[in-house]
Amino acid sequence: NSPKSSNIRPDMQRVLPGRIMGILAKAGEVAENLNYQVYAVGGLVRDVLLKVENLDVDLVVEGDGILMANKLAEVIGGRVRPHEKFGTAEILFPDGYWVDVVTARVEYYEYPAALPQVEQSSLKHDLYRRDFTINAMAVALNPGRFGELVDYFNGREDLQIGAIRVLHNLSFIEDPTRILRAIRFEQRYDMAVEPQTMRLIKEAVREKVIARLSTERMWGELKSILEESDPEHMLDRMSELGVWDYLFPEITFWEVQPVISEMPQALMILRNWGWAEPAEKWLPYFLAILHWTTQDTAHTICQRYFLGRRQTDKVLDTIAHWRAALKSLSATEDVPLSELTKIVQTLPREAYPLFLTLLEDKMAIRRFRLVMESVHRQKPSVNGKDIRGMGFKPGPMYRIALDALWRARLDGLISDRDEELAYVKAYLESRNAPKIETKQPEAVG
Ligand code: ATP
């Protein structure tokens, strides 16, 4: 059966940035010279059809993928990292961008007489191993066919009707991470897992296939969910389908759900207050999920997902301190800003969204905002170098003096650099901080 074809070059031109279009065109030319066929596949094709930008270039080559990657890198630049065993390679660019190249392999040499047929089917073979019909489309890149959509499994139609559909009945048994992926795509694109696929998911969950999955792979997909712009409905769906209990058996979803549902708004408010999105985009949600558990349980979960020391500490600090911080910000009496700041700073920055969802009254929220803004604004300009310039010996007193300065600024006792310098000097002198020794002239006599 031949795939439905149409040319989507105009859509590609509209949706994809010039840099990406350039790479795709060059890939086509390089493949043509090698007498290969090359295709862009997966997420990029899906998103072009949805008119959503996608910068992930995944190339499938009917031919030697590693040779193709090397030749392509000669034209577009970048360093090739080959994986000989799999016939795949990445082309890595200095700015962190990369292009994936894989070899579509079949019994290429077995049917020399029917080469075109076999070539076709080698791409089809590759696409058949993919998760859903909407992710199993390819677009041809060779100059004569550039933009030709290759759609063996009616992915385009499924995109149009909004259906997440597997390619065969054993899909979730073969790879249970696809259950999480189905949920992610369904909610991200506001589509629906079609009935037969849903039956297969339920069957797979009943048969506990997720328990057989390595925690690394599970964590990879979970992290992708927590990095989506709105994970709430994905987590809801995970709970509904009984998947949550495999990922967080220690945590009752309904206990953390109210906090999770307020996270998108909290994130938005914080961004308006100048809070910078952390590099680990998943961490704010992860903290929201874990904040209600004990230190021990949280530690077990962090270990299960191989979190590093730094990330684990952030989880444990959040659990250890959010209650006290909440109490101080919600106190009825006046607490000095410096005091509040000290308490808020026991929380990692990544916990601020969670923390904001926990603050109930307006007063507490105002105080939190004040803390955040003053931390931003009131950062003193005086530093260690300045203190050295005053002739004090480097040592622990530097930090203590700068902390005191910082609190004084927050409480509005000083307002400019001159006052800062005077404050630090007076502070250190009053505590007899040691001075840098200068050679004294020998006493004569
Ligand atoms: P995103 O926009 O989230 O990056 P994506 O579809 O590009 O979505 P990737 O995880 O980068 O997601 O995967 C790229 C392609 O690889 C998918 O489109 C799909 O064709 C295939 N793929 C990824 N994971 C699986 C899997 N577990 N099983 C089968 N195919 C997969």
Q: What is the CATH number of the domain that holds 148?
A: 3.30.460.10
Q: Which of 246, 278, 313 is the last residue of a domain?
A: 246
Q: Identify the domain containing residue 330 by its residue range.
A: 248-369
Q: What is the pLDDT of residues 58-109, one digit of tens each?
A: 999 999 999 999 999 999 999 999 998 888 999 999 888 999 999 996 544 4
What's the gap in Å between 185 CA and the centre of ligand 1?
Answer: 10
Segment 100-120 shows an average pLDDT of: 59
Largest CA distance in the chain: 111
Indicate the residue type of 168: H
Q: What residues flank ligand 1, with Cβ below 6 Å? A: 42-43, 56, 58, 130-131, 135, 175, 177-178, 181
Q: What is the dihedral angle through the alpha carbons of 317, 323, 334, 272, rounded to the nearest 10 degrees?
A: 70
Let me know whether 150 and 9 are in one domain.
yes
What whole-number distance in Å separates Cα of residue 39 and Cα of residue 137? 10
Q: What is the dihedral angle through the alpha carbons of 241, 247, 250, 251, rounded to the nearest 10 degrees?
A: -60
Q: How many domains does the chain have?
A: 4
Q: What is the pLDDT of residues 148-203, one digit of tens each?
A: 999 999 999 999 999 999 999 999 999 999 999 999 999 999 999 999 999 999 99
The phi-psi region of residue 77 (left if phi > 0; otherwise alpha if psi is between -120 and 50; otherwise beta) is left
Let me know whether 15 and 67 are in one domain.
yes
CB atoms near residue 128 (< 10 Å): 13
Candidate from 46, 130, 139, 223 with most ligand 1 atoms within 8 A of CB, to mutate: 130
Let me know whether 148 and 12 are in one domain.
yes
Let me know whether 277 and 301 are in one domain.
yes
Q: What is the DSSP letter of 361?
A: S
* Residue 120 pLDDT > 80: no
Let me know whether 144 and 12 are in one domain.
yes
Ligand 1 atom at minimal distance to the Cα of residue 56: 7
Q: Which of 246, 275, 299 is the last residue of a domain?
A: 246
Q: Which of 202, 223, 246 is the last residue of a domain?
A: 246
